[in-house]
Amino acid sequence: MDVTVLCDAVAVFPEPIADALPGWTGEHAAWTSREMPGNVAADGGWWLHFHSYLLTDGSDALLVDTGIGPAGGAGAEWLGTEGRLPELLAAAGVVPDEIGTVVLTHVHLDHAGWNIDGSVPRFHKASYVIQADELAHVRGSASYERYLRAVDEAGQLRVVDGETALGAARLVPAPGHTPGHQVVVTEKAVLGGDVLVHPAQARWPELTYVYETEPDVAVRSRREVMAMAGAYGVPLAPAHLHAPLRIDVTGPAAVRRATGPGRCPAQRI
């Protein structure tokens, strides 16, 4: 199986970093500048990447998360930039109908932005897979209307409950960021969604993010998912980090150094 990083967008977090990560100190900033400079903006702010992951295995293609979405969408409006996932998929030689499965780590605007094309699912032949706890969390919300209703009405929503095998990938619940947040375990990497949103949370898992629905549960999930990646000997690739993290006895470190500001090139993990 190949895992390809598709960098939908990059943007500076639109709020002060100390508001987003209460407890943020100069020590966190210094570590991040050293270990993950690709997540540090010129003014010291928080530079986020928005990564989807394309899993290909023979004739099967699976997409993990669908980025911030097009200009005019809620994700693009929030972040002041637009995604480019359709171009990246085309460059990777994949047409939308070849995607058999879309896994949503969770249903936030920066992870489900390209779910829909107009009023129909963008990936016509795909099952869109979410955890039951996530559907319960978003049902009735604006996010459900924007990102799931058309999928649900087309009969393309697949709701799973707990650990689920999906070909060569495995879905593992990692709640806390949202109640039904899940990660995707593959032989190449653990695709971590928002189990951690800032690289310093790998070094300090107790550093909570203000938009985590259950901070204590999120801290526990962070520790568990990092331990899992370390035990399997594969990198942890969350959605917003410039590069995957290697987790070993010396602690977390970036697998790759930043090549400069901006979107990263399509590359395999």
- To Zn ion, the closest distance from the beta carbon of 155 in angstroms equals 27
148-177 binders of Zn ion (CB under 5 A) = none
| Candidate segments 109-117, 147-155, 156-164, 210-218, binder of Zn ion by CB under 5 A | 109-117
Indicate the residue among 104 and 129 with the shorter CB distance to Zn ion: 104
Q: How far apart are CA 116 and CA 149, in angstroms?
A: 9
Indicate the residue among 200 and 264 with the shorter CB distance to Zn ion: 264
181 makes contact with Zn ion (CB under 5 A): no
Structure tokens at 44: 């010291």
CB under 8 Å, gap of 24 or more: what pairs does 70-75 form?
70/113, 70/114, 73/109, 73/113, 73/146, 74/109, 74/113, 74/142, 74/146, 75/109, 75/110, 75/113
Neighbours of 194 (CB within 10 A): 25
Q: How many residues bind Zn ion (CB under 5 A)?
A: 5
Indicate the residue among 35 and 110 with the shorter CB distance to Zn ion: 110
39-58 binders of Zn ion (CB under 5 A) = 49
Indicate the residue among 82 and 110 with the shorter CB distance to Zn ion: 110
8 makes contact with Zn ion (CB under 5 A): no
Neighbours of 233 (CB within 10 A): 9
Structure letter (DSSP) for residue 98: G
Q: How far apart are CA 226 and CA 192, in angstroms?
A: 9
Q: How far apart are CA 167 and CA 19, in angstroms?
A: 40
Q: How far apart are CA 219 and CA 223, in angstroms?
A: 6
64 makes contact with Zn ion (CB under 5 A): no
Structure tokens at 152: 């649900």
Task: Using CB under 5 A, pick the residue from 107, 195, 264, 269 that binds Zn ion.
Answer: 264
Indicate the residue among 234 and 239 with the shorter CB distance to Zn ion: 239
- To Zn ion, the closest distance from the beta carbon of 207 in angstroms equals 16
- To Zn ion, the closest distance from the beta carbon of 97 in angstroms equals 26
Indicate the residue among 110 and 133 with the shorter CB distance to Zn ion: 110
Q: Which residues contact 51 (CB under 8 A, 6 or more apart)?
A: 5, 6, 7, 8, 65, 67, 237, 238, 239, 240, 241
194 makes contact with Zn ion (CB under 5 A): yes
188 makes contact with Zn ion (CB under 5 A): no
Contact footprint for Zn ion (CB under 5 A)? 7, 49, 110, 194, 264
